[in-house]
Amino acid sequence: MSSQNIYVLGIESSCDDTAASVIHNGKNLSNVVASQKIHEAYGGVVPELASRAHQQNIVPVVQQALDKANITKEQLSAVAFTRGPGLMGSLLVGTSFAKSLAYGLNIPLIEVNHMQAHILAHFIEEENFDKPSFPFLAMTISGGHTQIVRVDNYFEMEVIGETIDDAVGEAYDKSGKTLGLGYPAGPEIDNRAQLGNPKAFQFTKPKVDGLNFSFSGLKTAVLYFVQRETKKNPDFVKENLNDICASLQYTIIGILIDKLKLATKQTGIKQIAIGGGVSANSGIRAALMAGEKKFGWKTFVPKFEYTTDNAAMIAIVGYLKFLEGDFADQDVTASARLKI
């Protein structure tokens, strides 16, 4: 199959972002995301509200992606969609829409694993961004995921470590809630961390074997710490907020970097590609840069718009699968717990 003129529409609806993108021969022509603000008031994603918002957003978001790409739907070569993992009600909206559209246009339908897509986002053609070569390690860190994956080829990958409870973004967001910060709290904790003393307070790192992670203990440790200190001084959080954020961030980055060190040691692979919303964090970026100097790592951080949930990452996987003729049948169903 010649790769000359392939337009793939990607559709992402696994959580609280309704997104659509057109990728043309590996290049991003449009990457539209409608983020659902409604969840902020609840301090977390409310599944029922998420699926309703997807219903409202999906048609306008897809239309906008086509308009921005300056193509009509008749020019599409295939429709790719997130099959899972994610919230079932949310996945169903994107899945049903993608199936109907592909059926109506009589073009191939391509199913995409959201976690693979976070990793393969590194292969979207972008000037000034190097692509990792195989094999590499991918660390996907967000509000929904925390994984280390060994990637031997586009579709040959193995999860070698993952969280056994909360995701790292949840450690940020739930601790942020304890500290009275808005949702999601990650960006504010990151900003404040840069103004505080990372050694001011100590939080114990969880002891988890191998390459797995655990973050729920840290969230509880922060809660107990705040309760204890607030009893002594009701203004404790207010007076020490930047130091608490810096100490928390220091602990979280330490946990991530410890596991990366172990993963590079176990596999002998020194290329590390990160993705997911938490990869925007200044601390993790600085620690990866330090790892390049200290341990000879080569690290890859994609363009920000490809790190958080987006549809360009779905469309690039669609493109790669299109080249292989890897299409889905019309009886494919969404899968909330789809594995890599």
Q: Give the nearest distance from C-beta 21 to ligand KG4 in angstroms.
A: 15
CB closer to Zn ion out of 119 and 244: 119
CB closer to Zn ion out of 173 and 309: 309
Paired with 298 in beta bridges are 271
d(CA 80, CA 37): 25
Q: Give the nearest distance from C-beta 223 to Zn ion in angstroms.
A: 26
Residue 164 has phi, psi (to 5 degrees) of -95, -5
CB closer to ligand KG4 out of 173 and 243: 173
12 binds, options ligand KG4, Zn ion, none, Cβ within 5 to 8 A by partner type: none
Q: Give the nearest distance from C-beta 15 to Zn ion in angstroms.
A: 7
CB closer to ligand KG4 out of 140 and 240: 140
Q: Which residue minimizes CB distance to ligand KG4?
A: 277
CB closer to ligand KG4 out of 161 and 186: 186
Q: Give the nearest distance from C-beta 234 to ligand KG4 in angstroms.
A: 27
DSSP per position, 131-181: PP-SSEEEEEESSS-EEEEEEEETTEEEEEEEBSSS-HHHHHHHHHHHTT-
Question: Which of 27, 15, 3 lies closest to 53, judged by CA?
Answer: 15
Q: Give the nearest distance from C-beta 340 to ligand KG4 in angstroms.
A: 15
Residue listed under structure tokens 């699968």: 321
d(CA 81, CA 20): 9
Is 12 a binding residue for Zn ion by CB under 5 A? The answer is no
Q: Give, as ranges, the residues between 131 and 150 that touch Zn ion (CB under 5 A).
A: 142
Q: Give the nearest distance from C-beta 167 to Zn ion in angstroms.
A: 9
143 binds, options Zn ion, ligand KG4, none, Cβ within 5 to 8 A by partner type: ligand KG4
- Segment lying near Zn ion (by CB under 5 A), choices 4-12, 22-30, 308-316, 320-328: 308-316
Q: Give the nearest distance from C-beta 143 to Zn ion in angstroms.
A: 8
CB closer to ligand KG4 out of 108 and 184: 184
Q: Which residue minimizes CB distance to Zn ion?
A: 309
Sheet with 27-35: strands ordered across: 27-35, 17-24, 7-12, 78-84, 109-113
Q: Give the nearest distance from C-beta 6 to ligand KG4 in angstroms.
A: 27
Residue of 110, 309, 318, 320 that binds Zn ion (CB under 5 A):
309
d(CA 124, CA 119): 11
Q: Which residues bind ligand KG4 (CB under 6 A)?
A: 15, 142-144, 169, 172-173, 184-187, 190, 276-278, 280-281, 308-309
Is 190 a binding residue for Zn ion by CB under 5 A? The answer is no
Helix 282-295 to helix 186-193 angle (10° resolution) is: 60
26 binds, options Zn ion, ligand KG4, none, Cβ within 5 to 8 A by partner type: none
77: tokens are: 């070569």
CB closer to Zn ion out of 140 and 240: 140
How far apart, in Å, are the Cα atoms of 105 and each of 74, 95, 222? 7, 15, 53
Q: How far is CA 209 from the centre of its chain?
A: 24
311: tokens are: 């549809």
Q: What letter represents residue 28's amino acid?
A: N
Start-end of H helices in the chain: 47-69, 88-105, 114-120, 168-178, 186-193, 216-232, 236-267, 282-295, 312-324
User: Helix or strand or coil: residue 335?
Assistant: coil
280 binds, options Zn ion, ligand KG4, none, Cβ within 5 to 8 A by partner type: ligand KG4
190 binds, options Zn ion, ligand KG4, none, Cβ within 5 to 8 A by partner type: ligand KG4
The footprint of Zn ion (CB under 5 A) covers 142, 309
